[in-house]
A and B are shown apart, each in its own frame.
Chain A
Amino acid sequence: MPGTVPVLVLRTAGINCDEEIVHAWRLAGASPTLLHLNELVEHPDRLDEFSIVTIPGGFSYGDDIAAGKILAERIELGLADALKKFVDNGGGVLGVCNGFQVLVKLGLLPGGEFSRDQVTVTYNDSARFEARWVRLEIATDRTPFLNPNLADGVEVDDWLMCIEMPVEHAEGKVVTSSMDVASKLLLNGQVALRYVDDEGEFDTYPANPNGSVLGIAGLCDPTGRIFGLMPHPDRFFDHTQHPQWTRRHSTGAADNGRAKPPEPPDGLRIFQNAVAYWSTHRNR
């Protein structure tokens, strides 16, 4: 059902993953629109046109002060009420990488009973930007971005428990004010994704690339409709984006020994899940 779910992709100074995330949404069958933050702040009502708001990755406002901080401030000072209304009415919010940092700095993630003084995202243990592919365990069934069965009329028996995607960031370490907060997040089902290594451990480097507590790679709010993650699903919408694709996949018979790729790529799946859910759960 192409074009059925209207998605807003927020753009502003330093956001730089808007083009690929628009493409991923389009591939998933949504109808994405790029909008500059300033325009949205001027016309907050425009949020009503959309089912999902996306904050893409990048270095909004240079990540000066802290990653995502200035964009979070601008949203808080200019859009807080409109955004709250949007979410309360059933809208979805997806934050990827810098977008996730923004959602955390805003307090929208993890949200619910947790305050901004309890969860944050800060510098990687390595103190520098790192690019690598990671394995992620899906740790919740709460969010329609990850759980396809939350969409009406969808029943998928074997939805993936483990997915792969790249991380590319310098400030992706999730920190909680105490271990209690971390465990409560897990119990609440608000830990959406965890970095995991081949042995099933969550805290080994580089499988956990930044030292996140409990290997947290993504969080959702108690409703599951606000979802954010450090890894980039928008960089895995095609099989040729996987670092090992030349070992695994082929396009034709002439390519000796290579298997046909599985469908669809893990990143694209997240966008497809959301489209399936919001095409049946209209928020207007």
Chain B
Amino acid sequence: MTQRAPAECGLKQIASPNEVELERAAPASVSYWSILIAPRTAQLDSHGREVLADVRQIGLDHVEAVRFCRVYLLGGMLTEQDIRLVANELLADPVAENYVVFAGLSARPDGELRVLEHGLAGGIRPLKPGSAGACAIEVHPLPGVMNPAALSTLDAAQRLLSVRSSKARIAEVQTARRYNVVGARSTDDLEQIAASVLANDCIERWYIRGFGRNDAIPDGFPLPNERPFALRHVPMREMADDQLARLSREGHLFLSLEEMRTIQDYFRRIGREPTDLELETLAQTWSEHCVHKTLKSAIDYHGADFGRPGETSVRFDNLLKDTIAAATHALDRDWCLSVFVDNAGIVTFDDEYGIAFKVETHNHPSAIEPYGGASTGVGGCIRDIMGCGLGAKPIASTDVFCLAPPDFDPAHVPAGVLHPRRVLKGVVRGVRDYGNRMGIPTVNGAIYFDERYLANPLVFCGCVGLIPRKFIHKEPKTGDYVVVAGGRTGRDGIHGATFSSAELTEQHADEFSHAVQIGNAIEEKKLLDAQLLARDHESGCLYSAVTDCGAGGLSSAVGEMGAELGVEVELEKAPLKYVGLRYDEIWISEAQERMVFAVPPDRLEKFLSVFAAEEVEATVIGRFTNDRKLHVRYNGQTVGELDMAFLHDGLPRTVRRASWGLRERHVGGKASDEATKQRSNEDPSRDSSEPRTSVRAESPDPNRDRKGAEQSPIAHRRPAITKSPITRFSTAEFRTRLLNALRHPNIASKEWVIRQYDHEVQGRSVIKPLVGPGFGPSDAAVLRPRYDGCRGIALGCGLCPQWSEIDPYWMAILAIDEALRNIICVGADPDQTAILDNFCWPKCDNEESLGALVRTCVGAKDAAIAYGLPFISGKDSLNNEFTMSPEESRRTGLPQRLAIPPTLLISALGMVPDVRRCVSMDLKQPGNVIVLASAPVNYVGLTEAKRHHDRVSELIRGGAVRSAHDVSDGGLAVAVAEMCIASGLGLDIDAMDQSRDRKGAEPTLPLNKGGLGGVDSAEDHDWNRLDLGTLSSRWFDEIPTTYVLEMTESDARQSGFPVIGRVSASDEAPARVRFVGFAKDSSRPQQIEAVEIAVDELARAWREPLFEGGNT
């Protein structure tokens, strides 16, 4: 046994004060150990197999096997016997695993390069020296990175040893993962496996052994040194503009020059220089993330009118207030209990309860570390729900991802960007691990693929909470204690709020690695349990206000809570994960799983004892005052003092200019004729009416257009949308087209993702994400919030970034229309439905981009008012661009600057009067007919569309509809195919009658005029014809306002909607879908053709693409 002195600059996970003393008292007796644990047999090594599949996915087909080992590194006053006790009783499974113990962390001899196998004494067998299999990769977390498993292992080992071994003291635990790789050919292979599959160098470090390489694993547990306290002032009062700009940039403040000048003026006025903490506080509080300064700014808009032909000039004093909030105000629904003022919006559920709903984005962190980014995104949104009012109980989560397609050519991925498949897998795992552990069902979501999200993936996390209505108001009082509860503060997640204002670059991973965090769901679950017990305490709620520590950490949480009163904080009291944090780091750290409470003095004792009983740390760090000042001290010394008035209201208001021209964006007009002709000549399987994905080109070049699609992932073409004239298909083309549409990643089954989420925990889920025996895609989720009632809520979403290039005004309307259709399909009441907005923009630094934002906001307002859907909450992320070097641009063939398409996510929350009357989208009954319920006039105004939605909703809620599905991505053909796949039943579709006989009532697209600013002409009408009787591209267009409904024949007749098909008898085996239509190029309308496709074949096409996350 070797004994080692503790590392000189050790990362001390502070377990308890005793441990620290122990270290100081007897360093010589501290020993370090490592334990390697592996599954006994290859068959039991499912993680190894999973990694092997990923390794082969990156092209290393020659790798034969990967064997996984868990590694525990332990330090303390420990004998070998102690270590064996811990290994036997705690760490290794006696049936499924074997283990080996080594003295020292790095002192493992060469002989330790063994594959652990079953059946040998001791369970290990060294590989022959020099054998190709003898290589291993070990992955360790970087110092300072949150490692919850290490903490709970430490705790469990301490408990075990305290009972079983009187002398042993265990002080430190770290965990790591080891992969023994068989069949690698070089260290290059191993490096590639480590970097592309196993580890993320942002948060982890790997060590390679094999092929003569023998990376030394450092002894001890390293961590930065403790630094002596030094108060730092930033001399800015005399700075010139260029110096101010530099300070903003290099200090990662991301403030504009005007904002910097305002701060300079403030400190000139009060006659001193700011401290670093004060500048940080202002930067956090004034960040886009925290105050939405763009959306709230005054904007002069000049450009195309909204929903009408012609141009207009409008002045918005506060864009958000004048549009989104104005809609809510105009609608004035009495069931909206709390809108835009709290961490989440709250609506009435019943007399006793309200429902809180919030959707957040966590884009930048997810780009750098998808797992950590997504999991902390989920965790943060849950804390928003816990922090709204006096706290809601989270009952459901939603997640929406916008990513580049998983089959994107790796050769074109720029440095600093993770491959989209890795992003997909990481974010799915992140949502899964956090949501499942919290015990909150993830019930609804979407994944949208588009190449333009390559460098800036979007991760939206939503959370729904149930809150007693008596708890929706909160107010801290002078004299209340400031209590921080939950996880400890560490250096993780510094600069997150300002980071979200940054443009990502090749270097962002290095520069902002400190913004990456790893979540600890169990810490948050404990915090939630304790909070709800304190809220529901028999003597009344034990606190007067609560908020979450989100972006900006204590600086935002405490600063916000004390905005009206004033607050003083003593930073040295905040519990820390390890020594060595500076005061300003403590103040702005975004360490997860913390909430801040305002606790009245007479309830403090009870409050602290409730938290202690739940094993949640709660600490008084300050007190609310009444001087409207933020006063921050560290060990008695003032490190920051700001007027709340300046902090919260001092942000200079700017007037921005925005414009939007329609120019060649007329898709329905003459301008696009050329393009559409071209498109109609393409292979129908590539027709543009499929959801289109391409990286936005700086200058569209029609000649590169089609070539680009074949040769490079950077399709240099306009992200054209679909509203092309009808392309007629032969039966063969129609068939190919349908199968390809089902295979498109945006449409293909997301079962692989959905099954990893627990969507049933809490027992509230009534309509789940996969419905019918064929696991079809549900339009929306339904939950029953109270076990003792049948009232429910429906959750749905709408997202159509493909429209942003055509007209963001219509993008907003269509997203709202889609979200509404989704929840109507399952049985929600559109008159008791609220919506949320989430804006993700490339950048708002030019008039055009800001113009797009304005148009989106106005469209959102118009649709919200017309449809009667109040916005209750929203969030924006307005800097989703990536810049790479010219060399990298040349290498990848991508433009130097990558920007996402302007993206608006609408989330809908609708009340369901009785969940027992809900409807799912799978076909139910042979003999029933299906109708196409589309707004029945040529020009659809939003008011008429609203009447139409109401009518469909009444039919569904009235019980006349057996299954309902909306016509979205992939159009009518895909909608009916999905209904068949979900049920296993077949359909006969023959819409020719409708086409022939109901000329006047033909369903048409609502986009002919207003949206495109066009004129009301016969030409437009033609262009917009759905023309169902023809096997044509029209079958694959998303049609707003449109549903497919299954009803009995008599109900269908009564409804007045056109019947377009009939559910085939179930004895017709195998089930088939039959489309009957006019033949291609047919001059005689009576010449018809039919396409028949087995439902099984459709199902296969739909299921395969994303099976195993695109691993096939």
Contact = CB atoms under 8 A, between A and B. Distances in A.
A255 B762 CA distance: 28
A14 B525 contact: yes
Interface stretch (B88-96, B851-859, B1074-1082): B88-96
Contact of A252 (B91, B520, B759, B959): B959
Interface string A241-265: 1011011001110111100000000
Interface in A122-158: 122-132
B665 interface: no
Interface string B741-761: 000000000000011111111
Contact of A61 (B47, B152, B914): B152
Q: For this complex, into which size category does the number of interface residues on chain B fall?
A: 35 or more
A70 interface: yes
Contact of A118 (B46, B95, B163): B95
A194 interface: no
Contact of B924 (A13, A39, A232, A257): A257
B596 interface: no
B962 A240 contact: no
A4 to B, nearest CB: 20
Nearest to A129: B756
A71 B163 CA distance: 16
Contact of A73 (B159, B773, B918): B159
Contacts of B10: none
B214 to A, nearest CB: 29
A229 to B, nearest CB: 15
Interface string B132-163: 00000000000000001100110110011001
A208 interface: no
A250 B918 CA distance: 10
Contact of A65 (B152, B521, B754, B756): B152
B960 to A, nearest CB: 8
B758 A131 contact: yes
B50 interface: yes
A247 B922 contact: yes
Nearest to A133: B760
A66 B153 CA distance: 10
Nearest to B827: A246
Contacts of B772: 244, 247
Interface string A10-29: 01011011011001100000
Given A19-B762, A77-B160, A240-B915, A39 B613 contact: yes
A69 interface: yes
Given A36-B613, A65-B90, A129-B432, A243 B160 contact: no
A175 B767 contact: no
Contacts of A64: 148-149, 152-153, 156
A240 B916 contact: yes
A271 interface: no
A38 B613 contact: yes
Contact of A125 (B46, B90, B439): B46
A237 B763 contact: yes
Contact of B437 (A14, A24, A66, A125): A14
A130 B756 CA distance: 5
B838 interface: no
B525 A13 contact: yes
Nearest to B756: A129
A127 to B, nearest CB: 4
A132 B522 contact: no
A123 B915 contact: no
A127 B46 contact: yes
B958 interface: yes
B95 A175 contact: yes
A23 B89 CA distance: 35
A127 B66 CA distance: 14
A168 B522 contact: no
A121 to B, nearest CB: 9
Interface in A201-239: 232, 234-235, 237-238
A177 interface: yes
B180 to A, nearest CB: 16
A257 B959 CA distance: 11
A256 B762 contact: no
A13 to B, nearest CB: 5
B65 to A, nearest CB: 15
A213 to B, nearest CB: 11
B362 interface: no
Given A14-B522, A62-B149, A240-B766, A131 B159 contact: no
Contacts of A19: 762-763
A281 interface: no
A43 interface: no
A130 B437 CA distance: 13
Contacts of A58: 439
B760 A241 contact: yes
A243 B156 CA distance: 39
Nearest to A125: B46
B784 interface: yes
Contacts of A24: 763
B873 interface: no
Interface string B912-955: 00111111101011000000000000000000000000000000
Contacts of A240: 766, 784, 915-916, 918
B761 A16 contact: yes
A237 B529 CA distance: 24
B44 interface: yes
B49 interface: yes
A20 B93 CA distance: 30
B438 A117 contact: no
Contacts of A74: 156, 159
B436 A246 contact: no
A102 interface: no
A23 B768 CA distance: 20
B770 interface: yes
A175 B90 contact: no
A246 B767 contact: yes
A74 B160 CA distance: 9
A20 B1051 CA distance: 39
Contacts of A77: 159-160, 163
B763 A235 contact: yes
Nearest to A250: B916
A50 to B, nearest CB: 20
A33 interface: no
Contact of B156 (A39, A65, A127, A246): A65
A243 B153 contact: no
B614 interface: yes
A176 interface: yes
- Most chain B beta-carbon neighbours within 10 Å: one of A13, A23, A74, A177: A13
Nearest to A77: B163
A116 B94 contact: yes
Contacts of A247: 772-773, 920, 922, 924, 983
A30 interface: no
B763 A241 contact: yes
B615 interface: yes
Interface string B769-798: 011110000000000100100000000000
B679 interface: no
Given A73-B156, A240-B915, A243-B771, A127 B47 contact: yes
23 contacts: A13-B614, A13-B615, A14-B522, A16-B437, A16-B762, A23-B763, A57-B761, A59-B436, A59-B522, A62-B149, A65-B90, A65-B149, A73-B160, A74-B159, A118-B95, A129-B436, A129-B757, A131-B756, A237-B763, A240-B918, A241-B766, A246-B919, A256-B1048
Given A13-B526, A59-B439, A122-B95, 10 more contacts: A19-B762, A20-B761, A59-B437, A62-B520, A64-B152, A131-B755, A132-B755, A240-B916, A241-B760, A246-B920
Interface of B: 39, 44, 46-47, 49-50, 89-91, 93-96, 148-149, 152-153, 155-156, 159-160, 163, 432, 436-439, 520-522, 525-526, 529, 613-615, 754-763, 765-768, 770-773, 784, 787, 914-920, 922, 924-925, 958-960, 962, 983, 1048, 1051
